[in-house]
Each structure stands twice: as structure tokens, then as C-alpha cells.
Structure 1
Amino acid sequence: MDEIRAHVQAALGEAGAHGLDHTLRVTSLCEEIGRAEEADMEILITAALFHDIARPLEKETGIPHEEEGARIAADYLRSRGWDERRVEAVAAAVRTHRYRSDRRPGGLEAQILSDADKLDAMGAVGIARTFLRAGEHGGGIPDGTEHIHEKLLNLRERIRTPAAREIAEQRHAFLEEFVGRLEGEMGADQPSAPLRK
């Protein structure tokens, strides 16, 4: 796994809304959820490490990062002699993790990766990443708040595994409290929709 981590780190860089720090948090969540759900940890952790490897390429190529990431992961693992069935399981998990994708995660490991990626967009870390992302795109607090309403507050309903649902409930409650306080402090001129339950 150290070799895979170094390979991913070289592609992603250290920080940012989708940098190595995000990948490592998702990997840690996969470890926690995977143990509880009795997943194949080698497939799961490998997929977690690779899940956003193609993020930096997406802007340049226009290829969705989950598609290119699945290809990169599969090529890398084949070059290391992995069994084709396991290669395909990792690639399928990477290919189906994205919130905006029409593809749904099928196997347990794919579901856990999808859940872990969504969990890292919830709670305190999710809030921090939202405003970091807004800044990376030249936006401000209203842009971040809008993103919370459009995406983050909807993530709880897309969590699939029981262990992840427990974490999601706590993080969702924190999100609701934060948005309520933020909008209260910013006043009536805040250009975002009211908090939706």
C-alpha cells in the first residue's frame, strides 16, 4: 500500500478540496466502515487510495475523473500482477464513487467507498472543504452556502451501508446546525435558499 500511496501522492499533491489529505481521510473512513461491514480490505483500501487520482486531469482532458481514475488504477494494478477479478473490483469501486455520476456502486467495497467519499463532504470537514473549494473557484461565503444546500444536505439520503449511516446522522445534524447559525449571523440578505430538512 505504501507504493500505491506514493504513486497517488505524486499525482494529487498534498492539499486542496480533493488533495491527498482528502484521499487519506476517505481511506481512513473506508478502514473503519470496511471492518464493521466485513469488506475485502485490500480491494477497498486500494480503491480508496485511487479514487480521485485523475482529479487533476479532469480539467485538462474533460474525461470524468472517476472514469479515468478507474482506468489508471486498473493499468497500475495489472502492471503489478494483480488478478483480473480483483483489478475489476477496484476499478468498479473507483468508477462508481462520484456523487454526480449516474452509475450506482454495486459491490460492498464500491458502496463503502461511495459512502466514505460522501462522509468526507459532511460534518466539520465537509464544511471546511466546501469553503476551501469556493475559494479555489473564486467564490465566497454565499457560494459555499449554496453548495451546502445543493449537495451536502442531500448526502445523508445516499448513504448505503449501516456503519456509514451512523456516522452520516451525526455529521448531517452538525451541518444543519452550522447552516442555521451561519445564515442567522449573515442576516436576511444572505443569497441562499432557507434551510431544507
Structure 2
Amino acid sequence: MKVEEFITSPASIKLIERTREFAKSFFDREGTHGFSHVERVFNLCLHIGREEGADLEVLALAALLHDIARPLEDSGKVEDHALESARIARRYLRSMGYPGEKVASVAHAIEAHRFSRGPEPETLEAKILSDADKLDAIGAVGVARVFMYSGEHGRSIEDSLRHFDEKILKLRDLMYTETAKRLAEKRHAFTVQFIERIRREIEGEL
């Protein structure tokens, strides 16, 4: 997807592309929360943000930077990747001369993107980032990510199905924006269909 389809300012496009390279440098391998996840969330954010009337520059930067500390959390070096990602983002954006009020907006969106812990998103951009992050856990990609995670952590198919019940199937009802709610309905329906089918096969259906 071309950023130019959503953002026309040459200065903004240059900053976003530079930020993409900065964010990518934090990921040394692919996985459930690799840089491909960041790219998908970025794309979702721009599509939702355009429909909802968000500040697309702030949203794009927050999407690219929202998981940069995830590898640090996965290795046990930090406790909360959202808070650490926001801290790194503040330092990076200030070094780029980005306006202070916009730095704060990007940082808040990053801090509030996790649905399982606070703070609650207060701005439209923060709500969209949270929605996009959740949307990437539903539907065909979401199913693939659940089983990718299971492979990474030695989890069985049955354990994976419990994870769908405990978390994934609840995400549809946690969306903030109307655009994300519409997208979530389609992805949720696919997920339910997949789970029903795999359970029938586990039970012996040919």
C-alpha cells in the first residue's frame, strides 16, 4: 500500500518512511508480533483513520512505533512493551523535531493500544490504533497468528481453541470506531466458522 494514497504532504511522507525504517530496526526476526504485524496494523490504521477523520500522520507514526519494544518484552527486558515503546517513540520524535503536542498524541496512542491493560484510549487516533491491533487478531490472519504463537510456545490445538474462547472471540465487541466494528463483524464470522470446522474434525468428522 502506498502512503501517498492517504497522505499528500512530502514532509509527512518523508517522516513516515524514515520512521518505518527506524521501527523495522527493532525486529530481528518474524513471528506473531514481528514487523509484518506492524505493517498490517499500519495499513488498517490508515484505512480506518481516513473513514473516521483522524490525523493520519499521528496515526501512521503511532502504528509504526506501537510495538518496537515488543522484542524487549518477549526477552524479559521490560515488563510492558506499550509503555516502553511510547518512551522510545517520544525520544525518537523529539530528536526529529516533531511538535510537542503531536509527540504526546503519538505516545498516548501507543500507551493505550493494549486491550488487556490501561490506560484507556482518549483520542480518536488512540482508539483507531487499539482497534487495528485487535482486528489483526481476528479473521484469517488472526487464526494464523494464534497457531503461529502455539508453534512458538509448544501449545496444543486444544489449548489454541481455548485461547479463541478466552480472548479472540471477545475482540469483536471491544471495538471503538464504527469502521472497525464493521470490519470486525466479517473477521469474527470467519473465525467462528473456522473454529466450528476444526472442532468437528477433532471430534472425528471426515
TM-score (norm 1): 0.92
Aligned residue for 2:119, secondary structure, equals coil
Q: What is the identity percentage for the equivalent residue pairs of Structure 1 and Structure 2?
A: 47
Could you tell me which amino acid in structure 1 is paired with residue 52 of structure 2? E
Aligned-residue RMSD, C-alpha? 1.1
Among candidates 50, 68, 71, match of residue 53 of structure 1: 68
1:107 equivalent in alignment to 2:126: no
Give the drift of 1:55: 0.4
Q: Which stretches of structure 1, 4 residues or longer, exceed 6 Å deviation after superposition?
A: none
1:116 is matched with which residue? 132
2:13 is aligned to none
1:12-161 correspondence runs (5 A): 12-58=27-73, 59-161=75-177
Asked if structure 2 preserves the Cα contact closer than 8 Å seen for 1:14 and 1:21, the reply is no
SS in 1 for 2:44: helix
SS at match of 2:181: helix
- Supply the distance in 2 between the matched residues of 1:182 and 1:157 (Cα, whole angstroms): 23
Tell me the distance in 2 between the aligned counterparts of 1:12 and 1:140.
27
Aligned-pair distance for 1:60? 2.5
Once the 2 structures are TM-superposed, how far is the Cα of residue 15 of structure 1 from its aligned partner?
A: 2.0
Structure 2 portions without partners, runs of 5+: 1-15
Is there any run of 5+ residues in structure 1 with no aligned partner, and where? 189-197
Pairwise CA distance, 1:102: 2.7
Q: 1:27-49, CA deviations, whole angstroms, 9 ceiling, x for partnerless residues? A: 00001000000100000000000
Deviation at 1:83, TM superposition (A): 0.9
Distance 1:62 1:19 in 2: 17
Cα deviation code 1:158-190 (max 9, x no counterpart):
1000111110000011111111111111018xx
The farther-off stretch of 112-121 and 172-181 is: 172-181
Higher mean C-alpha displacement, 45-54 vs 135-144? 135-144
Residue 24 of structure 2 aligns with which residue?
A: 9
Return the offset for 1:140. 2.5
Give the Å deviation of 1:62. Answer: 3.4
Which residue does 1:170 correspond to in 2? Answer: 186
Provide the C-alpha distance between the structure 1 equivalents of 2:137 and 2:19, rounded to a whole number of angstroms.
24
CA distance in 2 between partners of 1:89 and 1:26 (Å): 17
Q: How far 1:14 sits from its partner (Å)?
A: 5.0
Residue deviations 1:113-155, cap 9 Å, x none? 0000000000000000000011111212122212111111000
Aligned residues of 1:9 and 1:20 also touching (Cα < 8 A): yes
How many angstroms apart in 1 are the aligned matches of 2:124 and 2:69? 23
CA contact (8 A) 2:132 2:180 kept: yes
Distance 1:155 1:78 in 2: 34
Question: Is the 8 Å Cα contact of residues 78 and 84 (structure 2) preserved in structure 1?
Answer: no
